[in-house]
Chain A
Amino acid sequence: MAGSSFLFGLEEQVDSFALLIAVLLISSGYFYLGTRSSRTVRAAGARLHSLPHYYGLFAGLVAALPALSLLAILAIGDDIVFNKLALGFIPADVKAGENYKEVIVLAQIYNVVNGINFGEQPDWVYAAAEAWHGWEDTSRLLKNVTVLALSLLGGMFAYRMVNPAFRSRNAVERIVMTILAASSAIAILTTIGIVFSVIFESMRFFALVPVSEFLFGTTWNPQFEGAERAGSGQMGLATYGSVPLFVGTFLISVVALSVSVPVGLFSAIYLSEYATPRVRSLVKPLMELLAGVPTVVYGFFAALTVAPFIRSTGMSLGLDVASESALAAGLVMGIMIIPFVSSLSDDVINAVPQALRDAAYGLGSTQSETVRQVVLPAALPGIVAAILLAVSRAVGETMIVVMAAGLAANLSLNPLDAVTTVTSQIVTILVGDQEFESAKTLSAFALALTLIVITLGLNFMALQIVKKYREQYE
């Protein structure tokens, strides 16, 4: 969405911050009072249930927590309410207009409210802006009064509960426990947020573009909006067939895995079965270094070093290599995944019981026979799971493909061609200002939905396999 907002206008920040400080001051005041009065009670000879500072803590927490929650809700919520109210000022004929965009109109209002003027605006914009100022004042007053009142009253209520029989420690612990439980709910909220943000927009997309076209169409051409720019090869129509993207993703993942699986697996085998502890302690951190390199660095490496190298090598062999070939992106992605495969394989290889190795050695197997015929078959489920996780990494990897794979949605299985992937399309479509209404923008959410389904599916399968495998040996 375009435009600034008031949510983080400097004025409001200062207001909210001052209010926050005020609440904290009130809270610490109650803490002091609560502690002191319970001390007094104790000094008078009464037996307290809990230590004095728990009484203070209880009063302080009750003074602070509800007030701060209210503050957070109001600070974020007021803007949303204002937006809704402002919509009421927009005349019906403007709304019915051909190029009407809610976002743009709201941005006009924001600008006037903020005192930024780009030329003369219609009267209703000024009216809305004036009303907005009024709402702001009301909101500020309301916020100040309610938050402070809640804090003071809450603290008072808790303070009045201080008496020797009151189990303040238990009460404080219940509050802390609630905070802990609420924290763990963040994970759920994140998932809900992801699911809803993706599903709602996807549904809007599928209202514009049939699911069948998206899933089975072989042309991906989101660049042109409607018939506005007729004359391109696709009869001026945007098409959203995602098959080329998935084929591209598949192609690059296959290249990546054909690098990382053999290299990662054999490294893991060598390190766990053959290498001396010295070599192991030297090589393992070096491999982990590969895992710590940010993906943007790999992308830069792919685009600047690997792709030109592959292109010139291919040219000298008489091959036609695209400058942004799938091979370059896949190869570098493969390098990135090597440590991932090797450390996961290392874990599963080490999980194979020593007794099985002893049995094989006791029969006179060589080391490689033991590895190939006993250790690897026993570790196979774990290795399959590791590879699935690696696939999921490859499919979800973004920066390397954005920087090195290009944007040409070619339907090709030739690794020397340029292809594009799901993630790079998502980034390309969603970077920069965009309108949430257009099919092009919404298509990114549909792509994201399929991406989530695929990666979570792979992850789920891998975890199931690992779980089964663990049960076998424990």
Chain B
Amino acid sequence: MPRSNIQRSNVRYSAPNSGDAANSHHRIKILKKVVLVTLAIIAVRLFAIQIIEHDHWVAKADEQHTLLEAIVAKRGEIYMMDGDEPAAVVLNQTTYQIIIDPSVTEKDKIQHALATYAATYQTADLDEVYSEEGLRYAIIAKNVPKSIADQIAAEEISAVWFAKNNQRVYPEGDLASGLLGFVNADGIGQYGVEGSLNNLLSGKDGLLKSTADVNKVALSIGNDNVKIPAEDGKNIVLSVDRGLQKGVEERAINAINNTAASNASVLIMNSNTGEVLTMANLPDYDPANYGNVTDASAYVNYVTDDPYEPASICKNFAFSAAINEGVMTPDTTFFNQHYEEVDDWKIWNAEQRSSLYGTLTMRQALYWSLNTGSIYALKLLGGDPTRINQQGREKLYDYYYNKFRLGQATGIELIEAEGYIEDPNEGWGRDSTYANMTFGQNLKITMLQTATAFSAVINGGYWRTPTVVKGELVDDKIVPLGSTSTGIEDKILSDETSAMMREMLINNRDYKVRDGTDRPGYDVGGKSGTAQVVRNGAYDDTFAELVGSYIGFVAPAGEMPEYVIMVRMWGEGQSIGSGDAMGLFDDISNYLINYLKIKPGA
């Protein structure tokens, strides 16, 4: 028993009594056990956490440490043409919101900084913000440019911080708002080019996957950091001419102010290429403050997205069809008795002067816009001058729908509505429907479809996909953007048909030459259209509300026309005749000649 001997000797040496010391030794043994047991418990616990639950904690750590951050792609800018040079009409700007924590009492400093630098951007009253109890977050200024935000940041006020915004800026204000559209608060394009070309403009956001610290700052720790760079959006150059668009919009506003119309839409396109030079919708709105618009109809691009009845403008298409089929010439005659009876309906001419009663040429029918004349063209298409038949309907349908592509989306780079053309063989009252279609009622087509088809009528018979995009801007150069337009070119009418139509359309405006509206040295052709409005399922014969349209072309005398202008004016409950639309056309056609410096022909 060596151990107890030692203890005894120790005890004798130091302690008052031996029992106490043995007790002390015993108690130290207890402490030793305490140490071993607790450390063992801890070791087991560590084994459980680090070895058994290891995967669980690693998964949790990934969840907590991994930062997935979108690298935001820069949205492309939008340009129009200024002569041959692109000119920016939609730009980006980084602006800042100023946010404060009112619980940090630095009101005087903040007030001073705001008053000194950013008074015009202030959106909230500081006294009001500070009077609200418990408020920790208040936006006090918006749209603050970087330079000013930097100045305020330099003041180093601890209660102030900044939130970055990417903002669209419109140097031309309201110009072409219906065409351009806007970008909503989520950064997504709405309406117009912003909406239809959103994918191209917005580009592709990149992705940053990394291990991050608690402040979401990426760390260099970890092996699975991923960086996919953002693809910035494309800078889109529109074919629209900025100056022409501006001039046309001014004239359209004048027309609205001087007539009962509340709305006007104008489309100018190159009849030989399909390029849109102007697409105006008025009244317009400020795309930078799109939220201020009270009626969402203000966003609508009526040129492409609102099918309607262009009325007698469609006589061009019925006439073209009959001429192209070789069953009619401008000199073909018919008997006009002011009305035509179809399916027991009497369809009347708008123009009923007695001098027109009797035998007339088709040229005269177009000049006076006689519905009886266009119905006669439909009869000729059917091969039976006495009545409308199935063959006539099918032929007209073939021309309207398949050749002129009316009632079909054109394929332009914009949001489009299709409209419709009635089937020639289904339903009841086919003959009267088709009779109506010859003068542009009982169908729904867009202004763009109409103007594209009209271009084919006058350009030698080529239907070409219209386009509003010239290309993308890369290093200040315009590069074609192949994928946006389908680019169809389809010869649908003979050269002769087209020539005859041009001759008749120019003839339509001979009185305009006489009264000096159309200047000598220029060929201006045109056709009006006045549509009745459907009320309770039938055309309203009181003419209380009418939609006025006019389409025409401008060319140096004796030359192939290059420009088609289409005008549409309307107002709810207002009787807008084609005369109002024609007035605006006259104004614009002359402005176009001046603006584009079109030289007179021989």
To the question of whether A and B form a pair in one complex, the answer is no
Binding site for A on B (CB under 8 A): none
Binding site for B on A (CB under 8 A): none
